[in-house]
Amino acid sequence: MAPATRFQLPRQDFPSRLWLPFKSRCLSTRIEVVRFKTPGDRNLIPHSAPPTSRDYELLSNFLQNSKKLAVITGAGVSTESGIPDYRGCCIQGASPQGAYSTGFKPITHQEFLKSAYSRRRYWARSYIGWRRFSQTQPGPSHIALAKLEGDDARTTGMITQNVDRLHHKAGSNPIELHGTTHQVVCLSCGNLSPRQTFQDRLKLLNLEWAAAVEIVESGGAVGSDASFGMQQRPDGDIEIDDSVFSRDDFQIPACQACGGNLKPHVVFFGDNVPLDRARAAASMVQESDALLIVGSSVMVLSAFRLVSAAHKQGSPIAIINVGKTRADEIASFKIESTAGDVLSGFLSTQGKM
């Protein structure tokens, strides 16, 4: 008997455990379906005290004293939409702890380039996770920041470390420092194409495998949205066992322009932010007179470098984040509450929500 592979699905009207046997050219395994809470119930958002009137006062004064505000956002603004972060909350006893705490290791740039198996494994996981990831909607932070931008001409712009495009869905147009999963790029010629187009091509090349996965996702009911509760990861893929797909049988579409290998248009770990994008972000910070960090620990150097530049030019820095950040010691103040609560509450006090 083949080894069991565990998928996690949300609570539905089916038993807590469901075994789906599959024997096909692409998929030959028993798959154990384990129900668990939906994203809204999974406690993705860290526990924190609600913002106080003093917090709102500090934020109000900070914004009023700024004539050219730059904003840097991170994964903490998207956890409220059901997308987990990597590091989680650093406060002892708080939850969640982020994807890293479960042993999750995101693929590196070098792995993706050197290993055909790693590319197949990445795209298999990404294929399963894409539907939910692409349909995720903006949360309170995205909406509040878009509202703040629209109502306040003093905002220079936004830089996001997120790859989910939820800021765009909310009406903002940030610099995507680490790229976006909504596009794929050819490693040979640089041609860009929509991720959904790639998804459709991936399915056509792996019809039998895709059909089997869809049944597993839906708990036996093809086409249902039960898959929305699977073990989502910050970059949009799903945590699955390697035995779910065959190393040889899983096919990846090639670039339609030159036949080269395709990768998501994101900056993987071990890669560098493209120079033009880094310069655009640096220019935005340089032109600003204040910096607001929202939902980010700014532990990644590409983001912290911008924070350091703002500090060196004398710009005050404010932080809205639960848990330790790399900028705590240089910030003018920090609000240790979830970004959605702070920003939505603040705009409500201003009569703008």
Feature table: binding site for Zn(2+): 186, 189, 255, 258
Residue set of the binding site for NAD(+): 161-164, 295-297, 321-323, 339
Beta strands in the chain (DSSP E): 4-10, 17-23, 28-36, 69-73, 155-160, 175-176, 179-186, 192-194, 262-266, 290-294, 317-320, 333-335
Task: Report the chain's terminal Cα–Cα distance, integer Å.
Answer: 57
Please check whether residue 334 is in contact with residue 328, taking contact to mean a CB–CB distance below 8 angstroms.
yes
DSSP state letters, 33-49? EEEE--GGGTT-SPP-P
Q: Which of 82, 180, 195, 197 is nearest to 137 (CA)?
A: 82
Cα–Cα dist 22/29, whole Å: 6
Active site residues: 178
Question: Binding site, residues?
Answer: 161-164, 186, 189, 255, 258, 295-297, 321-323, 339
| Token pair recorded at residue 296 | 């980010």
The Cα 78–Cα 61 span in angstroms is 26
Structure-token pair, residue 60: 């109000």
Which is it for strands 333-335 and 317-320: parallel, antiparallel or unpaired?
parallel
Count CB atoms within 10 A of the CB of residue 92.
Answer: 5
Residue 14 half-sphere exposure, CB side, CA atoms within 13 Å? 20
Please state, in angstroms and rounded to a whole number, the distance separating the CA atoms of residues 146 and 168.
9
Residue with tokens 């040889």: 248
Helix axes 195-205 and 207-217, enclosed angle (nearest 10): 110
